Structure 1
Amino acid sequence: MSPYRPNPFFSTTNTFFVPSVGDKVDNAVAQAKAYGKDAQAQASSLAHKADLKFQDAKEAVKDTVVDATQDTPTGIDLYARFALAGALGCAVTHGALTPVDVVKTRIQLEPEVYNKGMVGGFRQIIANEGAGALLTGFGPTAVGYAIQGAFKFGGYEFWKKKAIDVLGVDKARENRQAVYLGASAIAEFFADIALCPLEATRIRLVSQPTFANGLAGGFARILREEGPAAFYAGFGPILFKQVPYTMAKFAVFEVAAEKILAATGKSKDSLTGGQSTGLNLSAGLIAGMAAAVISQPADTLLSKINKSKGAPGQSTSSRLVQMAGQLGVKGLFTGMTTRLVMIGTLTAGQFLIYGDIKKALNAKGGVEISAVPK
């Protein structure tokens, strides 16, 4: 008996003849599902964009309505308030952490002496020089970082707003990380011009406790004995340290805050006072840790180069190369644990104080470009 062969006309798997009605129905259903999923995804994206547009419109209307009972600052007045909030935030946090900074600097400059970690460094300094030594350099620290904080935070808000004005809200939002990085880098460059002389004085006082009796004496002695150029001997490493630090600080803070808000499903305006504090502290701590690691090698070189004078005729760049070679990778990260504690705490505190003072001064930022509605 010959084997059974199905009639190809009735086969549903035959590719020669037209597919069966069942196959057509199945294909149509599959295509409809695919189109449905694609349409749903597009609708979700459009809805999110529409929500952002709605929030932008709300903010634009809010900014144009003049409240008769409340003074809404603009222009120079607004950025002056940003600068004041930044100055107070940086002066308070850096000043409060002066003892930690003293220990960190000693570990970087004399690792063979201060080799027992942060707690051991505190004990050594107190035992050898008294507790007052932990406040060495407090004056230049508070003054220097108040000036730097004004330029840094005020400048960041200013340059971020300029970037948004040039690019437009939608383009700025799509490239918000680049906006954060660019605005913070420009702001920090000008901040470092103001900070460098005071940072040079601070490091000299910490590394040489008998050098002078405070900020005014140390500043005057460096100016008298070494000239104005000595204040900017560390300008290269301070840029190398502070610019990446500040770029990481603001960009990571913005992204971390955005992710935290997205995870909670809340907008920034809907947060209570306690929730806003928690957001600033959490995002600030994450940003501080990232910034500390990125800027650690330059921080070590800055401490080294300001410890003493260079050899006659030796350039700053050659000194930096020589120091980096002598230290190696391990040496460049000396004091990392101490600095993580210091910078993480400091950055979280700065964003907390900055946010609170901005609110108290009625200093509202420019157009928001976060992917999370405000």
Structure 2
Amino acid sequence: MEQAQNPNDEKPKKTVPIPPYMKSISGSIGGVVEATCLQPIDVIKTRLQLDRSGTYKGILHCGKTIVKTEGVRALWKGLTPFATHLTLKYALRMGSNAVLQTGFKDSETGVISNRGRLISGFGAGVIEALVIVTPFEVVKIKLQQQKGLRPDLLKYKGPVHCARMIIQEEGLLGLWAGAAPTVMRNGTNQAVMFTAKNAFDVLLWKKHEGDGKTLQPWQSMVSGFLAGTAGPVCTGPFDVVKTRLMAQSGSGSDAKYKGMFHAIRTIFAEEGLLALWKGLLPRLMRIPPGQAIMWGVADQVIGFYEKTHLHKAPL
């Protein structure tokens, strides 16, 4: 009787929907924790992606060089925009994904197909890329590429000053440099991540959204870690191109890279195919653990809401 493979057969009752605002809250709390823990890896990833002369010999050498020449605090450069960016990004990502999924849910059971999850995830990734990710990452990368800690020697004195300087020198659209590869990267990442997270929850823990079951933090972290591994490999070239476009100064004829496709061709011609996956290892060191941390926190927030609001009625 329980051999049926149709996911609808596994759910004897309609699942209870979780409000999008709760998804947003859970994501924002998870984003704060993730940013604080993983900022050093993000700084190292950015430095490696911007390194064209072979200054850094690898992740450990890059980290040690930064600490030796700039101090330990340099590993947390750009933390303010990064933490703010992650908090807002996850709030928008989780909330918009929940809203988009409502259009794909079965009216009788509340079940959503994998196709619906993919489309909703991609849509959420596009929205977050255009509204939040691109301008925040432009500022973050400009701050991270600066070497040294003495404020009087730095061009950008902080995130707000950096944003003002970019607008002054490059115009408002300068904050959206690299938007095209960011959209492709985030859309693909979120399409894969939301679908994979749900699949691992069902496969490993028999957990369905809205069923009232709360996973242990370690279970959520396992699912989140596994769901976060595929995206970086698939979207590596988009991430490298995004970083190069955001980091360069000038526009039009003054810019080395004229756009996403021109940047891909140029990097391939000048540095080889593998250069399009520069910084992949630190991305794999950052994104899957980051997803593990975020989901470990977010699932607990959602689980608490389910227990106290959705499944508290007496039987």
Q: Under a length normalisation based on structure 1, what TM-score does the superposition of the two structures give?
A: 0.71
What is the distance in 2 between the residues matched to 1:128 and 1:255? 45
The one-letter amino acid of 2:13's match is Q
Confirm or deny that 1:126 pairs with 2:67.
yes
Contact conserved, 2:170 with 2:251, CA < 8 A, in 1? no
Match of 1:283 among 223, 242, 255: 223
Residues 167-316 of structure 1: pairs in structure 2 closer than 5 A: 167-169=106-108, 173=112, 176-195=113-132, 196-209=134-147, 210-261=154-205, 276-313=216-253
Q: Aligned-pair distance for 1:323?
A: 2.2
The one-letter amino acid of 2:125's match is E
Secondary structure of the equivalent of 2:247? coil
Confirm or deny that 1:55 pairs with 2:17.
no
Structure 1: gaps (5+ residues): 1-39, 64-73, 367-374
Structure 2: gaps (5+ residues): 148-153, 311-315
Match of 2:302 among 317, 334, 358: 358
Alignment deviations for residues 156-186 of structure 1 (CA, whole Å, 9 cap, x no partner): 112112321xx5356955xx11111111111
What is the distance in 2 between the residues matched to 1:300 and 1:363? 42
What is the distance in 1 between the residues matched to 2:7 and 2:82? 45
What is the distance in 2 between the residues matched to 1:225 and 1:100? 29
Q: 1:145 to 1:47 in 2, by over 3 A?
A: closer
What is the distance in 2 between the residues matched to 1:351 and 1:326? 37
The one-letter amino acid of 1:257's match is D
Percentage of pairs with the same residue: 19
The one-letter amino acid of 1:178's match is R
The one-letter amino acid of 2:64's match is R
Q: Which residue is 2:150 aligned to?
A: none
What is the distance in 1 between the residues matched to 2:203 and 2:32? 29
What is the distance in 1 between the residues matched to 2:66 and 2:182? 26
Q: 1:177 to 1:48 in 2, by over 3 A?
A: closer
Higher Rg: 1
What is the distance in 2 between the residues matched to 1:144 and 1:85? 15
Secondary structure of the equivalent of 2:60? helix
Residues 110-149 of structure 1: pairs in structure 2 closer than 5 A: 110-149=51-90
The one-letter amino acid of 1:118's match is I
Q: Which residue is 1:30 aligned to?
A: none
**Looking at both structures, which has the greater relative contact order when contacts are Cα pairs under 8 Å and sequence separation is at least 6?**
2
What is the distance in 2 between the residues matched to 1:246 and 1:100? 21
> RMSD in angstroms over aligned alpha carbons?
3.0
Alignment deviations for residues 265-291 of structure 1 (CA, whole Å, 9 cap, x no partner): x778586x6x53232111111111112
